[in-house]
Structure 1
């Protein structure tokens, strides 16, 4: 699909609310944290910076205490973060009900979007069953998780866990991270979070495509909630989210002028 890695870094900035650069853009005099696919859920959904990967400047005037007081930048190593083998262009595909299932749930494919795959294979200690096999198929397989979408306007850039109130009746559905199995719903949130690329001047919307652990979510119509109880520590929030929702694709859609 020929998308510049620079633009993908810009998309990650929009999705996380933190400036993300390519490794090649980081100089010896900058302080940055490496963003890897394992830490993406905590960064994008909780607003927490990665726990590890601190890269400090070689400048001896920059002390460790100074590091903690500076606003952090994130960087990615493209070949370790993205997996172009599984990219897929849905932009010109027709919107039809093709009856796909993932994790026993209907899979509404992201028609109208370009998907850039994240390098998640063999990253998790429980293996790859949560992803299921690659390629088009209408059926689910054992151990596979359903697909959900997270428009960056849902919470991502704010990094705030909220109590979700169901549309229509205002009924509280609990505190936590929410996403949706419906790409159209996610798109309505993504409308609020756009970025204009410094590389080509085009404007894009961004959505995270995830797999969600069905045992760790509650269903409220088109909203899937990963409960995070009040009073949970930041570290425990990270553990809950990383075990329940795993981004595996970055979706981009150009906003036509």
Structure 2
């Protein structure tokens, strides 16, 4: 049921109908993304073209064993991830992306699974990125790109504070009239991140004039999305 909610919202973001795939399905545009990263998955969806119905192998895209229902969570205590504050996304449902063993440096950046209030060695801090539906389409089609906001420098902003990220997400409506917001949950490379003067703002700097190839390289070293946070409003 929760995967169907996710598909409904993703279909709005992508602008095409999406249905769960199934084994043995034939003569359909079924995407098996077992070995593809998040950005590649969405790039393939966009390549389907307008008006096409897309079938998605959900087992290849999501990792349900790590889904977590924060919708009824009232514990707003701040924990630590990567030695930085981690504010749990209370009120949201997290759909876990399949990221285990996706990166050449292993899985240390994710820390250990399960509830804990403390950091573990080598893990990256958690960051949230709220956006508009139009920018969400651009992000999922390719990768994070610098926005127009340059208060503390040019680049990509995110925050450990889910409430701050909510302020930058924008409401959108599904075909059945339900309204949603989406926030990307990431791990951010502490070696690439700049803590801004306003310390709950984190910036991945991308200087003016950076080539497209170098920009992509910087972003891919800096952000690792590992969850889609969904909230009906």
Normalising by structure 1, what TM-score?
Answer: 0.72
Q: 1:23/1:252 Cα in 2 relative to 1: closer, same or farther (>3 Å)? A: closer
Q: Distance in 1 between matches of 2:223 and 2:230?
A: 20
Larger radius of gyration: 1
**Structure 1 residue 161 corresponds to structure 2 residue 112:** no
Q: Residue 188 of structure 1 corresponds to which residue in structure 2?
A: 167
Contact 1:105-1:146 at 8 Å conserved across structures? yes
Deviation at 1:242, TM superposition (A): 1.4
Query: Does 2:217 align with 1:217?
Result: no
Equivalent position of 1:137 in the other structure: 116
Q: Is this contact kept in 2: 1:109–1:183, CA < 8 A?
A: yes
Gaps of 5+ in 2: 140-144
Contact kept in structure 1, 2:32 and 2:60, CA below 8 Å: no
Structure 1 residue runs without a partner (length 5+)? 44-48, 57-69, 166-171
Contact 2:68 2:94 (8 Å CA) reproduced: yes
Q: Which residue of 2 aligns with 1:9?
A: 7
Aligned length: 222
Whether the 8 Å CA contact 2:33–2:60 is kept in 1: the answer is no
Take 1:233 and 1:76, find their aligned partners in 2: how far apart are those partners?
Answer: 33
Q: CA RMSD in A?
A: 3.5
* Displacement after TM superposition at 1:189 (Å): 1.6
Deviation at 1:19, TM superposition (A): 4.4
Task: Give 1:12 deviation, angstroms.
Answer: 3.4
For residues 248 and 54 of structure 1, do their structure 2 counterparts lie closer, same or farther at Cα, with a shift above 3 Å needed?
A: closer
Question: Tell me, what secondary structure is at the counterpart of 1:156?
Answer: helix
In the superposition, the TM-score normalised over structure 2's length comes to: 0.78
